[in-house]
Structure 1
């Protein structure tokens, strides 16, 4: 099992010279302590993300303060961009970083962000795959034709070329259909425990590996990366006491996670009809179960069964989502425990192979 850091939250509305302090300092820590990668999302407008509107731009800054860690998007929303723009941005990043770029792609989520797209929201999945095919050809140095404003075909061949012979790709997956399509195309997958349990993810990973095999790809070569809320301390009680408040606040602002929490409690409800007292009760009785079943919140020892279960399900990499806790000292204080867990897992694996 490999371990990375994943960033998803953060309020960019305030003019704050320290807005990216956690990102920069935790990136340096990851780079110096053997973590595999840094994942940055693409999230637009304050209500949906704040600090991370452009992963290639922010990773360009991180490439200047890191040397080893891989720099990945989690994810580029391809329907919002022209493939030439994406190819140029990520080629530049690959050069700046010495060949450390990786791209996860996504079809998009909210209707609002499609003000950036020329195509309707309903076409987003087919447009993502079309753009992916064009993007990979551009990154390989091929010429690709596009229409200009007058409808004429123009041949584009982008520069600079990336340093890597092939920048690795992931696709953000939730439905089994997307897992299977990723296997058919032979690319990696990025999934999450945000709204599902490990037992829900496992059959999708099996279907992915079967699709790899059936389409002439090495089923063991495809990488499955999973985003998991992570906060580790010396003991489980301290970890939970430190984050239960911030985690409850986080869930309160992410209604799709609250709905998942309600379903796990066998509640068939419409949260838009919940009162504040109802939401408080849901959080009070359900948040600890959510933390125990779908997160790495505890000590390095207490979360080992979750890591083992993810490995048995076919996961290759845990992308530790750390910034759901909006407290710099708490997050930075927990990073050494993540590094220790990563080293212990690697050591156990070496002993098993020996």
Structure 2
């Protein structure tokens, strides 16, 4: 089992000299302690998450303070960008990092972010795949034809060229259809337990492996990376005490997760219908729910069964979302425990591909 760090949140609404301190310090720790990768998202117009509007720029900086760890987007929202711009940016990251770039792509989420696109929100998935095909060709050094502002066709060939012969790609997947399409195209998968349980995600991973095999790809070659909320310590009760307040505040900013918590409690209610006291009770109960089957929140020992379950589900890499706790010292103090869990589970292998690819 491989472990990586995933960044998703961070208050960008208040300028501070140390806004990226947790990012830089945890990246250095991960690099020095054998973790696999660093994932930076693309998020626009979010107070929480507002530190990460441009993953290529983030990783250009991280390339300067790390030596071996892979630097990946999580994810580039392709419909918001011209493929030439994406190819140029990530070729630069690959050069600056000595060949450590990886790109996860996504079709986008909110309507607001599509102020950056000339295409309608409803066509975002088809546009993502069209842009992906163009991006792969550009990164391979091929010319791709585009129209200029006057309608003339221009054959574009981007520079610089990446150091890697082929930059690895992931696609952000939630629906079964997206898992199957990733398998058809032979690219890696980035998924999560946001709004779903592992039992719901496992059949999708099987569908991905089956699609890889059905379309002539090696089913063992595809990587399934799963983002999961992570906060580890030496004592479960102390971990709960440390995390419950920050996690409750975090959930208040993530409507879909709140709805999922309500459903998990058997409540067919919208969170905005709750009173303040009821919402606090829901959130505190929800932290317990996340700790019991949807997170790595606890100690290395208490989280070991979850790692085993993820391996049985066919997950190759656990992408540990760490910055939902907005406390630099708390998060950094937990990272040695994460490194210990990674070392203790290094020999775990995902479920046999032959068993899931038939």
TM-score (norm 2): 0.96
Give the match for residue 103 of structure 2: 103
Distance in structure 1 (CA, Å) of the matches to 2:300 and 2:251: 23
Distance in structure 2 (CA, Å) of the matches to 1:48 and 1:146: 36
- State the Cα distance separating 1:237 from its structure 2 match: 1.6
- State the Cα distance separating 1:272 from its structure 2 match: 3.1
Residue 272 of structure 2 is aligned to residue 272 of structure 1: yes
Alignment of 1:235-254 (within 5 A): 235-254=235-254
Secondary structure of the residue that 1:346 maps to in structure 2?
A: coil
Give the match for residue 233 of structure 1: 233
Any gaps of 5 or more consecutive residues in structure 2?
350-358
Residue 10 of structure 2 is aligned to residue 10 of structure 1: yes
Distance in structure 1 (CA, Å) of the matches to 2:113 and 2:8: 16
Secondary structure of the residue that 2:10 maps to in structure 1?
A: coil
Distance in structure 2 (CA, Å) of the matches to 1:165 and 1:122: 34
Give the match for residue 305 of structure 1: 305
Give the match for residue 61 of structure 2: 61
Indicate the larger mover: 26-35 or 234-243: 234-243
Distance in structure 2 (CA, Å) of the matches to 1:209 and 1:348: 19
Distance in structure 1 (CA, Å) of the matches to 2:239 and 2:304: 15
1:337/1:48 Cα in 2 relative to 1: closer, same or farther (>3 Å)? closer
Alignment of 1:102-251 (within 5 A): 102-251=102-251
Any gaps of 5 or more consecutive residues in structure 1?
350-354
Give the match for residue 259 of structure 1: 259
- State the Cα distance separating 1:348 from its structure 2 match: 5.7
Give yes or no for contact 2:94–2:163 (8 Å, CA) kept in 1.
Answer: yes
Indicate the larger mover: 11-20 or 213-222: 11-20
Distance in structure 2 (CA, Å) of the matches to 1:63 and 1:182: 28
TM-score (norm 1): 0.97
- State the Cα distance separating 1:47 from its structure 2 match: 3.4
Distance in structure 2 (CA, Å) of the matches to 1:140 and 1:14: 41
Distance in structure 2 (CA, Å) of the matches to 1:221 and 1:348: 17
- State the Cα distance separating 1:48 from its structure 2 match: 5.6
Distance in structure 2 (CA, Å) of the matches to 1:121 and 1:26: 35
Report the RMSD for the aligned CA atoms in angstroms: 1.0
Indicate the larger mover: 274-283 or 321-330: 274-283
Distance in structure 1 (CA, Å) of the matches to 2:260 and 2:320: 20
- Cα deviation digits, residues 176-222 of structure 1 (max 9, x gap): 00000000000000000121111011000000000000000001110
- State the Cα distance separating 1:285 from its structure 2 match: 2.8
Alignment of 1:282-321 (within 5 A): 282-321=282-321
Secondary structure of the residue that 1:3 maps to in structure 2?
A: strand
Distance in structure 1 (CA, Å) of the matches to 2:294 and 2:215: 32
Distance in structure 2 (CA, Å) of the matches to 1:215 and 1:274: 48
1:329/1:38 Cα in 2 relative to 1: closer, same or farther (>3 Å)? same
Distance in structure 2 (CA, Å) of the matches to 1:53 and 1:286: 29
- State the Cα distance separating 1:289 from its structure 2 match: 1.4
Distance in structure 2 (CA, Å) of the matches to 1:63 and 1:242: 31
Give the match for residue 352 of structure 1: none
Distance in structure 2 (CA, Å) of the matches to 1:48 and 1:119: 26
- Cα deviation digits, residues 292-349 of structure 1 (max 9, x gap): 2200000001001100000000000000000000111100000001111111111566
Give yes or no for contact 2:13–2:47 (8 Å, CA) kept in 1.
Answer: no
Secondary structure of the residue that 2:225 maps to in structure 1?
A: strand
Give yes or no for contact 2:308–2:348 (8 Å, CA) kept in 1.
Answer: no
Secondary structure of the residue that 2:345 maps to in structure 1?
A: helix
Distance in structure 2 (CA, Å) of the matches to 1:21 and 1:284: 29
Give the match for residue 322 of structure 1: 322
Give the match for residue 72 of structure 2: 72
Q: How many residues are treated as equivalent by the alignment? A: 349
